């Protein structure tokens, strides 16, 4: 299954890509929300792992675009952020995020959360 990843931090983007690839996922990684959105529209994806704070189009805006697009509105979305502020998490959930992980995260926890979303929402 293809996972759309968007994070402007090179270190975290590489880490998420490596961890999910090692877990058997096909990863489509992008350095901002706009590029991720363009890729999603062109090539699709089954699930998304999105950083919140990104230039051009942030994770909340990208999530909003995903939830208002008929093709992707039910796609599982896990938000990733270095900010642990409660208001970010609430805003994310209100916009339709399925789960939330705060950086730095444990690699195995990231994989476990993605698997849960895949199983619960996609029925795999
Ligand atoms: Mg960021």
Q: List pLDDT tens digits, range 86-107.
A: 777 788 888 899 999 998 899 9
102 Cα–ligand 1 center, Å: 12
Encode 75-95: b = buried (16+ Cβ within 10 Å), e = exposed: bbbbbbbeeeeeebbeebeeb
Which residues lie below 8 Å from residue 123, measured CB to CB, with a gap of 6+?
A: none
Q: What is the fold of 2-117? A: Rossmann fold (3.40.50)
What are the φ/ψ torsions at residue 21 (nearest 5 degrees)?
-65, -45
82 Cα–ligand 1 center, Å: 7
Does residue 124 carry a pLDDT above 80?
no
Share of the chain above pLDDT 70, in %: 97
Task: For residue 100, give the H/E element and its range.
Answer: strand 99-102
Q: List pLDDT tens digits, range 8-25.
A: 999 999 999 999 999 999
């Amino acid at each position: 299954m293809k996972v759309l990843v968007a994070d402007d931090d090179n270190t975290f983007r590489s880490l998420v890509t490596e961890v999910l690839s090692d877990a058997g996922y096909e990863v489509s990684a992008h350095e901002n929300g706009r590029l991720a959105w363009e890729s999603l529209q062109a090539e699709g994806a089954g699930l998304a792992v999105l950083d919140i704070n990104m230039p051009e189009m942030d994770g909340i805006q990208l999530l909003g675009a995903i939830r208002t697009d008929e093709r992707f509105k039910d796609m599982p979305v896990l938000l990733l952020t270095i900010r642990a502020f409660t208001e970010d998490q609430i805003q994310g959930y209100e916009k339709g995020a399925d789960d939330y992980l705060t950086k730095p995260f444990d690699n195995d926890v990231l994989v476990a959360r993605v698997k849960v979303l895949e199983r619960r929402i996609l029925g795999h």
